[in-house]
Amino acid sequence: MPSLQPILDDLSKRFEEQIDEIRAAAPNEIYLHTRMEIIPALCAYFYRKWNGRLAGVFADDAREDDGVFYVYYQFALDRSGGFFIGRIPIADGKPELISLTNAVPAVNWQEREIQDLFGIELIGHPNPRRCALHDDWPQVHPLRKDFDLKTQMAPFIGERHQFRRVEGEGVFQVPVGPVHAGIIEPGHFLFSVAGEPILNLQIRLFYTHKGTEKLFENLPVEHGVTLAESISGDSSFAHATAFCHAVERAAGVEVPQRGRVLRSVCLELERIYNHIADIGAIATDVAFVVANAHAMRLKERVLRVNELLTGNRLLRGMSCLGGIRRDWSAPQILALERMLDELAPEFDSLVALIYGSSSTRERLQTTGFLSPQTALDLGIVGIGGRASGFDHDLRRDYPHDAYDQVKVAVPVYTVGDVFHRMQVRIDEVRESMRLICELVSKLSEGPIRVPIGTIPAGQVALGYVEGWRGEIYHWIRTLPGNRLGRCKIKDPSLQNWPAMSEAVMGNIIPDFPVINKSFNLSYSGTDR
């Protein structure tokens, strides 16, 4: 990409002797093969010189072919629309990795996942305790290639997880979860309070760790789409499409125009129904149940159109390698347009209902404040990031599918409270309705998918989608026979959960449900 050439020239000049190889896997996906001791300087360079950010850190077991582990550092340069991915080798004998968490808190959980799943010891990490694997796991590292997926674990014997104690006069601790009153997945929240204000919140997740990344290994790529759909049920289309993007990049395949447009419309439908549901749920958590009933009725309208268009209310089975699985007839498109015409004024009525409730506004405004600086430090993306000043959206900054054919307006606020996280949703629903109408007008006759063919072995590729929660990444490495040696999944929730501990500070425990809902993070997407 022309926008990346000045960066590449300056990078080559500044790190001439320290980067072993520079290779472009795609026009905006550049790999830098280097060494561990260079990564801190490389990180500082991208942050300060090009306003970049460290969007992901992950590992791969390449001992069978190269005799080492590899750790990858994914730098996103949003203004230039490109990714620079640093790759460093880690020796097998005593695998160690210098932690960046003290300098870049955003990689805290990701580095600890590498330690848990690959057995690469973190050097200098401020809190190197287990993260992805709980205490009842023995000393095994399941993403190593020599770990058998069918291994039966021995019964756990030993001390359970000990939360850090917060002590002082009048301080007591309140556990919430891991089993909750609602039909949701498990997560343990331990509050330390003095009187009513929250002093500290410790979060423990990964109770339903499913080993999804292990399941991708040696899986035929066509089966990977179904597995990707199961990562987070309310983002099934987004995850499936991000996976398809990665495979299509590795195969060098371009999706037809009609398929790209239909994919983009489905992504916006997924955004609309989830945002409307969240707006209603936020209202419920402050006892405004009438607004929630109104929102659920509107969500049902969208889900019925989803089923009419794709055969599934949650858009499953629609995305496929090379494009889209089902085409839409003229009557189906007419039904979509009619639904949007009717939805817009009713959604405005829902918003007016919420705005008109002074008690609701009072509960939401200034509650769960997340400062722009804290959001930046933690690398918060999606809804939470945009409500706290992070002006970023993959649809605009790294256009995928048909987003290069439309102009995406991204709502950004700096207030960072529950009200403005809801406001981001309201703005995005309206923008999604507008985008769908514009995208539908660009539908042209033609095929909706193309065959993938044989994918060369040894290819690496990054697939990405701006899901309704935020950015989703799937990184793959291919094997012979259209199989996968590695699939790294990054759901936005993994990045955003640490923000909860900051946003609840100074609030009271009864405000926790609405603060939690304003982020609405996925347990399943995090646990994977």
CATH superfamily of 212-527: Cytochrome-c3 Hydrogenase, chain B (1.10.645.10)
Q: Are 389 and 416 a contacting pair, CB within 8 Å?
A: yes
pLDDT at 218: 79
Give the span between the Cα atoms of 114 and 112, in whole angstroms: 5
Cβ neighbors of 308 (< 8 A, separation 6 or more) are 332, 335
257-284 and 418-441 helices cross at what angle (nearest 10)?
150
Q: Are 458 and 486 a contacting pair, CB within 8 Å?
A: no
Amino acid at 153: M
Q: Are 55 and 107 a contacting pair, CB within 8 Å?
A: no
Give the span between the Cα atoms of 499 and 416, in whole angstroms: 11
pLDDT at 188: 92
The domain made up of 2-123 has a fold known as Beta Polymerase; domain 2 (3.30.460)
- Point out the residues of the chain with pLDDT beneath 50: none
Q: Are 483 and 509 a contacting pair, CB within 8 Å?
A: no
pLDDT at 165: 81
The string of DSSP letters for 76-113 reads EETTTTEEEEEEEEEESSS-EEE--TTT-GGGHHHHHH
pLDDT at 507: 94
Token duo for residue 77: 């340069």
Amino acid at 127: N
Domain ranges of the chain: 2-123, 173-204, 212-527
Cis peptide before 178 (omega within 30 of 0): yes
- Buried/exposed code over 229-245 (b: 16+ C-beta within 10 A; e: otherwise): bbbbebbbbbbbbbbbb
pLDDT at 432: 98
pLDDT at 150: 86
pLDDT at 482: 94
pLDDT at 177: 82
Cα 380 to chain centroid, rounded? 10
How long a stretch of residues is the chain? 528
Q: What is the pTM of this model?
A: 0.95
H or E segment to which residue 406 belongs: none
Residue of 200, 277, 267 lying closest to 235 (CA atoms): 267
Question: Locate tokens 């993007």: which residue?
Answer: 245
pLDDT at 162: 80
